[in-house]
């Protein structure tokens, strides 16, 4: 049996009210009493019953994170790093983190609704925003606190952090164009993901800017896994006149593309340039190291979490909407042994 306020009250010979107020340092409790209450609470190892507190206080000090994942063999470095960011920040600010996984769809919205109405959490963190994002619409409409990593096209009157994917992919495209590449393939992600939209846009604008032709046959879509990158790149490189550069919209597909090229006997960075986007830890120590765009996912997790907790506490945010400028990381996968541009 755990120790309750009543137990302490009995020991001190005071009421439960006084004990509660003593522990919360109210000023209508005498210093002596406070000291006594505290020492006995300590002695008995008192820890408040959190459900009684939450029932009374009407808030949960918990934030929710529903990971939009598919299938069992799920392993995306993005999620573990992002999760570490929000987890640590939440702990630092005294919040719990409730995690669940649910593939996008009808059940996903039900999961949000259940957690909102129970109420299990005080706010949500949303990631991988989509065109017409039902989650954002639902939470906005419920006036339930949330912060997202990613924007939507219209309807942008909520708090978010996002990378400037257009700009980042522009950096990649410029880099390749400056190296003299004319025909560049693009490994896209499904169009309903906003990040895919912006990155693709950055790629297309980059080509236009350099007056390069856009060949629709060289733009193919995969599910963001290494396996997909491998398969798509294999197909592309087996064409009679394959492109000399492949831009993947994320690192995982780029890694798959590197393997595909190597399997076909090509030297990546010399015969074919391959680039990614995200700068996951794996990108630095693969062979050849991957040219990519750096995105500080852990820090973004921290930021998003801090913003959410401030919103929950009705504290003002310095900035409601933040767009981060990513930076280009040039490695061997695009420039082979050349030491400079």
Partner DNA sequence: ATTGAAATCCAAAACGTTTTGGTTTAGAAT
Partner DNA sequence: ATTCTAAACCAAAACGTTTTGGATTTCAAT
Contact residues: DNA, CB under 7 A: 2, 4-6, 13-18, 20-21, 23-24, 28-33, 46, 48-49, 52-53, 55-58
Under the criterion CB under 8 A, does residue 141 sit at the interface with its own copies? Answer: no
Out of 85, 165, 243, 276, the residue judged to bind its own copies by CB under 8 A = 85
Of 88 and 201, nearer to its own copies (C-beta) is 88
Could you tell which of DNA, its own copies, none binds residue 85, using a CB distance below 5 to 8 A set by kind?
Answer: its own copies
**Does residue 83 interact with its own copies by CB under 8 A?**
yes
172 lies in the binding site for its own copies (CB under 8 A): no
Cα separations (Å) of 330 from 174, 249, 267, 293? 12, 15, 17, 8
Would you say 55 or 341 has its CB closer to DNA? Answer: 55
Buried/exposed 42-81: b ≥16 CB within 10 Å, e otherwise: eeeebeeeeeeebeeeeebbbbbbbbbeeeeeeebbbbeb
Residues contacting residue 111 through CB under 8 Å, at least 6 positions apart: 66, 100, 102
Cα torsion for 73, 217, 150, 128, to the nearest 10°?
Answer: -20
Position 80 contacts its own copies (CB under 8 A): yes
DSSP tag of 13: T
The answer to whether residue 132 forms part of the interface with its own copies (CB under 8 A) is no
87 interacts with its own copies by CB under 8 A? yes
Residue 252 CA to residue 233 CA, distance in Å, equals 12
Give the whole-angstrom CA distance, residue 330 versus residue 175: 9
The two counts, helices (H) then strands (E), for the chain are 14, 12
Q: Is 77 in the site for its own copies (CB under 8 A)?
A: yes
Shortest CB 50 distance to its own copies, Å: 4
Q: Least CB distance from residue 119 to its own copies, whole Å?
A: 7
Q: Which of 150, 165, 242, 256 binds its own copies (CB under 8 A)?
A: 256
What is the closest distance, in whole angstroms, from the C-beta atom of residue 231 to its own copies in the complex? 9
Stretch of residues binding its own copies (CB under 8 A), selected from 7-15, 23-31, 219-227, 333-341: 219-227
Residues with Cβ < 8 Å from 10, sequence gap 6 or more?
Answer: none
- Residues 6 or more apart in contact with residue 267 via CB below 8 angstroms: 336
At closest approach, how far in Å is the CB of 46 from DNA?
Answer: 7
Please report the sign of the dihedral spanned by the C-alpha atoms of residue 160, residue 314, residue 145, residue 49. positive
List Cβ neighbours of 119 (8 Å cut-off, separation of 6 or more): 60
Residue 52 binds to its own copies (criterion: CB under 8 A): yes
CB of 105 to DNA, least distance (A): 28
Out of 6, 17, 47, 338, the only residue in the binding site for its own copies (CB under 8 A) is 47
Joined tokens for residue 186: 């693009």
> Which residues contact its own copies by CB under 8 A?
2, 45, 47-52, 54-55, 60, 67, 69, 72-77, 79-81, 83-85, 87-88, 90-91, 96-102, 114, 117-120, 225-227, 229-230, 255-256, 258-259, 262-263, 280-282, 284-289, 298-299
């Amino acid at each position: 049996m755990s120790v309750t306020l009543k137990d302490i009250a009995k020991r001190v010979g005071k009421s439960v009210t006084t004990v509660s107020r003593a522990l919360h340092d109210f000023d209508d409790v005498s210093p002596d009493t406070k000291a006594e209450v505290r020492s006995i609470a300590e002695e008995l190892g008192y820890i408040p019953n959190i459900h009684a507190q939450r029932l009374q206080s009407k808030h949960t000090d918990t934030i929710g994170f529903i990971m939009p994942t598919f299938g069992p063999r799920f392993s995306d470095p993005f999620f573990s790093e992002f999760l570490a960011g929000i987890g640590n920040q939440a702990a630092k600010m005294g919040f719990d983190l409730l995690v669940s996984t649910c593939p996008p769809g009808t059940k996903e919205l039900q999961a949000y609704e259940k957690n909102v109405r129970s109420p299990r959490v005080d706010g949500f963190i949303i990631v991988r925003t989509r065109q017409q994002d039902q989650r954002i619409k639902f939470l906005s409409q419920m006036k339930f606190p949330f912060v997202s990593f990613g924007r939507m096209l219209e309807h942008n009157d909520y708090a978010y952090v996002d990378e400037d994917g257009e700009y980042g992919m522009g950096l990649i495209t410029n880099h390749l164009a400056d190296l003299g590449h004319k025909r560049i393939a693009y490994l896209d992600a499904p169009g309903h993901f906003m990040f895919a939209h912006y990155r693709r846009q950055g790629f297309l604008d980059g080509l236009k800017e350099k007056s390069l032709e856009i060949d629709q046959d060289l733009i193919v879509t995969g599910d963001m896994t290494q396996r997909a990158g491998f398969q798509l790149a294999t197909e592309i490189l087996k064409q009679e006149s394959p492109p000399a550069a492949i831009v993947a919209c994320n690192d995982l597909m780029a890694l798959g593309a590197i393997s595909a090229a190597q399997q076909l006997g090509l030297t990546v960075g010399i015969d074919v340039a391959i680039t990614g986007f995200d700068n996951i830890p794996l990108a630095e120590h693969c062979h050849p190291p991957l040219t990519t765009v750096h995105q500080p996912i852990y820090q973004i997790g921290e930021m998003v979490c801090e913003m959410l907790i401030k919103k929950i506490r009705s504290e003002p945010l310095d900035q409601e909407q933040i767009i981060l400028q990513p930076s280009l990381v040039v490695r061997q996968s695009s420039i082979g042994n050349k030491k400079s541009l």
